Amino acid sequence: MMLVDDEILIREMVKECVPWEKEGFQFVGDAPDGEIALQLIEQLQPDILITDIKMPFMDGLELSSIVRKRMPDIKIVILSGHGDFEYARSALRLGVEEYGLKPVSAASMLELLHSVSRKIDEERLEKERARKQLLSESEKLTMTKEKLLSDLCCGFLTTSEAIHWSSAISLDLMSPYYAVVIADYRDASADEADMEEAVLPAPLPHAGEPLVFKRSRTETVWVIKGDSSEELEERLRRFRETREPSGNPARQTPAIGIGSIHDRLQGIHLSYLEAEEDMHLHRLSRQNKREMNLSVSAHMPPEPPVFLDRSKFLDFLRLGTPGEAETFVTAYLAGLNRHDWAGSPLGYYILNDLTIEVLHAAKESFRSMGPHEVELERFQAAISAVRTREGACSYLISLAEQYWRWRSEGADKYGELILKVKAYIAEHYDKEYVSLQSASEYVRLSPSHLSKVFSQETGQTFIEYLTQTRIQKAMELLLTTHAKSYEVAFQVGYNDAHYFSNLFKRVTGMTTKQFRQNGGLALGTKGDGNEAAFKLG
């Protein structure tokens, strides 16, 4: 609070006779008239201004009028030795909070100030409620079902954030099991609306609200839920049947990718990445088949064309040994002994089709593979060089050997990579720029591949792990320093203090103030059951 009065004795008495700090106030300054006071008020920004009326140069009513216009949040208390009703009426018209008559006792002064301070507290509380309500409504407007599902699939949300936002927009997200399916209509023969109605499977009864969003103009993504893995397998089986239609071979269905089944919300991200790769391989396989059929039509041999049994080759890869490879491949290609490898492109499409199938099988079985686009380009370059039956045999033997190398490398290949990523997060968690993109550049791996590997190896998405690291560091700072909440937010990589406070409460179940008051006790999982309790070292 600040005092303005032209009588120095009154200013000294008020300043010295009231125990300001004990009563919860801070006396920031005083002035002998309104003109001098105005400069100090703008500089000190008091919450409460106590002013006399009759003063030289600028009286209290003039001062109050200017303060109300320039700084409307300041509460004004008028003190005057004049009991004239006109002064009181003028003061009330100006929006003065209280009007008291001199002489005033310390007790009366404190009674006035406490009355005003309660109004200030109530107004601030109401403003904060209104601000939070406005922010909440604004956030709800920006968070839609499509954005939530997209961010969840792309790994941009932690489990607690996904649960928070799904509740905020009334989306039934929780389920025991999840899988992701992606369909791309760019090569389909009908338009998308007709295709979805005629080709894609109808949802099973009692499956709940479909979790669907448009990834692009031609691509649709489903997050499929199920109460059991068997129920989810049944739903996915319908998509697989749609992907491999029987009957009319000329009908072009969408390219469909199907991810694996997971029992945690964060598994949606991994299933999404798998579905993306599966869809790409499905599209490549279909394109190759079309080219192969065109090649057969253009180079129709005197006898029906011979095609390779893909399942037989895959069975050999799973059960055979390197020592048996040459004998098996020679017998496997016997049906193509008369094929003109140098003059007809049919052989390229046959080997390419088989290679895509092997890549697909390896992707489903092994974690140690690199991006399928890179692997496929390497194999296709080798296929292009095949000009003889012996060259085809050598190629298939090398394909089998590569499959076995992937199998032998197993799940430990990325152990060192994961340690490097975790070390990067530990060193840079306090920087706002830290992201999957920056980490992938650091380890020289594509973001999508790093995201998949990190999820598979750690059981957490990259964002989950980064958030966990930052919240753990925030808890340490709250317990070991006197830093304010917004300062802690900045020190752990969050420039938005409001977002940090909400995230901290969603993850820990306590506000930063409650956490600090409780000394970190009773800290555990908050409600969703999907995030391990945070514990300090």
At 264-295, the pLDDT tens digits run 888 898 889 888 878 877 777 666 666 555 55
Same domain, 465 and 421: yes
pLDDT higher than threshold 60 for residue 301: no
Contacts of 23 (CB under 8 A, 6+ apart): 110, 113, 114
Domain boundary among 239, 270, 301: 270
pTM of the model as a whole: 0.48
Report the share of the chain in percent with pLDDT over 90: 10
| Residue 505 located in a structural domain | yes
Report the share of the chain in percent with pLDDT over 70: 77
167 contacts 230 by C-beta, under 8 angstroms: no
More confident call, 287 vs 298: 287
What integer pLDDT is reported at residue 474 of this predicted model?
A: 93
Same domain, 131 and 193: no
Domain at 31, CATH number? 3.40.50.2300
Lowest mean pLDDT among 97-101, 469-473, 517-521: 97-101
pLDDT higher than threshold 70 for residue 205: no
317-331 average pLDDT score? 87
Lowest mean pLDDT among 388-397, 475-484, 520-529: 520-529
| Residue 110 located in a structural domain | yes
Q: Can the peptide bond before residue 176 be classed as cis, meaning omega within 30 degrees of 0?
A: no
| Segment of 294-303, 452-461, 474-483 carrying the highest mean pLDDT | 474-483
145-155 average pLDDT score? 88
Lowest mean pLDDT among 20-29, 107-116, 326-335, 518-527: 518-527
| Residue 528 located in a structural domain | no
Same domain, 214 and 260: yes
What integer pLDDT is reported at residue 524 of this predicted model?
A: 46
At 393-429, the pLDDT tens digits run 999 999 888 888 877 765 456 777 888 999 999 999 9
pLDDT higher than threshold 80 for residue 518: yes
Same domain, 183 and 260: yes
Same domain, 7 and 133: yes
| Residue 404 located in a structural domain | no
Same domain, 188 and 122: no
51-69 average pLDDT score? 82
Same domain, 223 and 129: no
Domain of 61 in residue numbering reads as: 2-137
More confident call, 223 vs 130: 223
Helices (H) and strands (E) in the chain, counts: 22, 9
What integer pLDDT is reported at residue 443 of this predicted model?
A: 87
| Residue 313 located in a structural domain | no
| Residue 372 located in a structural domain | no
| Residue 359 located in a structural domain | no
pLDDT higher than threshold 50 for residue 537: no
What integer pLDDT is reported at residue 475 of this predicted model?
A: 92
Query: Buried (b) or exposed (e) across 57-90, using 16+ Cβ within 10 A?
Result: ebbbbbbbbbbeeeeeebbbbbbbeeeeeebbeb
| Residue 531 located in a structural domain | no
pLDDT higher than threshold 50 for residue 32: yes
Which candidate, 453, 310, 257, 437, places its Cα nearest to that of 371?
A: 453
289 contacts 310 by C-beta, under 8 angstroms: no
- Can you tell me the distance from the alpha carbon of 482 to that of 491, in angstroms, rounded to the nearest whole number? 13
What integer pLDDT is reported at residue 249 of this predicted model?
A: 47
Query: Buried (b) or exposed (e) across 420-453, using 16+ Cβ within 10 A?
Result: ebbeebeeebeeeebebeebbebeebebbbbbbb
More confident call, 466 vs 186: 466
Which candidate, 395, 462, 472, places its Cα nearest to that of 430?
A: 472
Number of residues written out for the chain: 537
98-118 average pLDDT score? 79
Split into its structural domains, the chain has a count of 3
153 contacts 223 by C-beta, under 8 angstroms: yes
pLDDT higher than threshold 50 for residue 432: yes
What integer pLDDT is reported at residue 180 of this predicted model?
A: 92
Domain at 419, CATH number? 1.10.10.60
Same domain, 127 and 185: no
Mean pLDDT, all residues of the chain = 78
Domain boundary among 111, 137, 163: 137
pLDDT higher than threshold 50 for residue 198: no
Same domain, 10 and 35: yes
Same domain, 155 and 259: yes
Domain boundary among 270, 288, 323: 270
Lowest mean pLDDT among 115-129, 191-205, 247-261, 262-276: 191-205
39-52 average pLDDT score? 87
Q: Which H, E and C letters describe 227-287, residue by residue?
A: CCHHHHHHHHHHHHHHHCCCCCCCCCCCEEEECCCECCCCHHHHHHHHHHHHHHHHHHHHH
At 239-251, the pLDDT tens digits run 887 776 554 444 5
Reported as a pLDDT band with limits 50, 70 and 90, residue 304 is: very low
| Segment of 287-296, 314-323, 513-522 carrying the highest mean pLDDT | 314-323
41-59 average pLDDT score? 85
- Can you tell me the distance from the alpha carbon of 207 to that of 202, in angstroms, rounded to the nearest whole number? 10
Same domain, 98 and 155: no
What integer pLDDT is reported at residue 525 of this predicted model?
A: 39
Phi-psi region of 509 (alpha: psi -120 to 50; beta: other; left: phi over 0): left
What integer pLDDT is reported at residue 532 of this predicted model?
A: 38
Same domain, 56 and 169: no
pLDDT higher than threshold 80 for residue 533: no
